Amino acid sequence: MGDGYNFQQLKKHILPLSNAAAWEVAVKEWSLVGIHEADEPETCPCGHFPIIEICSIHNRITGRATEVGNICVKRFLGLRSDLIFTAIKRIRKDPDKSLNADAIAFFHERRVLNDWEYSFCQNTMRLRSLTSAQLSKRRDINHKVLAVIGRRGFQGPQYLGLSARPPRLIRPGLAGKPSPTAQPSPTAEPSSRPTPSAGTPRNAPRVRGGPGFP
């Protein structure tokens, strides 16, 4: 390709980390498990430079993991990371906007959004008019998502249960030389049972309403 994305070079990076020898089969072994934006331009395994939108992918058979640029993940691996990055750009430009369905599902699976926030986002995603409380909650959620995008390795505390083996992160040019396992950021869901504050009866009724109507 004349645009700097070298498919053959990407294959040489991905196939040794895969179980299948045929590319058409090997790509089915990989899943998108994390995305982030690099602080400084990086190089994709395909050789393209610069890239900022980075995707972490994981092979559920071999247990291997690596990082690939957003364009290659969509173009060659068929994983729609571009839809999630589109949502990120949308809420960065206007924090009053909603995440799209792909981003809501992705960040919920990675434990960035808890169950309540997931339901809230679903229920309010297509609403044109929000109450002041709803709009404030949407902004809080968007700020949380934007904050986590700047961190590597936020895939979640259980790495989505994709493999019993701990993933080994392979950077471009280091195929076969695993780096230390990436440690996920603490994004565990908050307890659904609030801790009573001093002087508050343990059985005091909750004030917050249902998802979408805080």
Confidence of residue 60 (pLDDT cuts 50, 70, 90): very high
pLDDT for residue 211 = 56
Confidence of residue 79 (pLDDT cuts 50, 70, 90): confident
pLDDT for residue 178 = 42
The yes-or-no verdict on residue 125 having pLDDT over 90 is yes
The yes-or-no verdict on residue 66 having pLDDT over 80 is yes
Per-residue model confidence as pLDDT tens digits over 181-209: 444 444 344 444 444 444 444 444 443 44
pLDDT for residue 171 = 52
Give whole-number Cα distances, 178 to 20, 63, 185, in Å.
19, 11, 20
State pTM to two decimals: 0.67
pLDDT for residue 3 = 67
Give whole-number Cα distances, 120 to 76, 94, 134, 149, in Å.
34, 18, 9, 20
**In-domain check, residue 50:** yes
More confident residue, 66 or 161: 66
**In-domain check, residue 163:** yes
Confidence of residue 149 (pLDDT cuts 50, 70, 90): confident
Q: Where do runs of H (alpha helix) occur along 78-130? A: 81-93, 101-109, 115-124
Overall average pLDDT of the 154-168 stretch: 44
What is the distance between the alpha carbons of residues 92 and 191, in angstroms, rounded to a whole number? 28
pLDDT for residue 182 = 42
DSSP of 139-167, one letter per residue? HHHHHHHHHHHTSS--S-TTGGG--SSPP
pLDDT for residue 172 = 52
Strands 51-59, 30-42: pairing kind: antiparallel
Can the peptide bond before residue 211 be classed as cis, meaning omega within 30 degrees of 0?
A: no
Instruction: Please state, rounded to an integer, the average pLDDT across all residues of the chain.
Output: 79
**In-domain check, residue 213:** no
pLDDT for residue 194 = 46
**In-domain check, residue 126:** yes
Q: Say how many domains are in the chain.
A: 1
**In-domain check, residue 124:** yes
Confidence of residue 76 (pLDDT cuts 50, 70, 90): confident
**Residue 179 DSSP class:** B
pLDDT for residue 155 = 52
Does residue 30 sit in helix, strand or coil? strand
**In-domain check, residue 200:** no
**In-domain check, residue 175:** no
What is the distance between the alpha carbons of residues 52 and 182, in angstroms, rounded to a whole number? 19
What is the distance between the alpha carbons of residues 203 and 80, in angstroms, rounded to a whole number? 46
**In-domain check, residue 190:** no
Range of the domain at 76: 7-170
Does residue 65 sit in helix, strand or coil? strand
pLDDT for residue 47 = 93
86: tokens are 């589109």
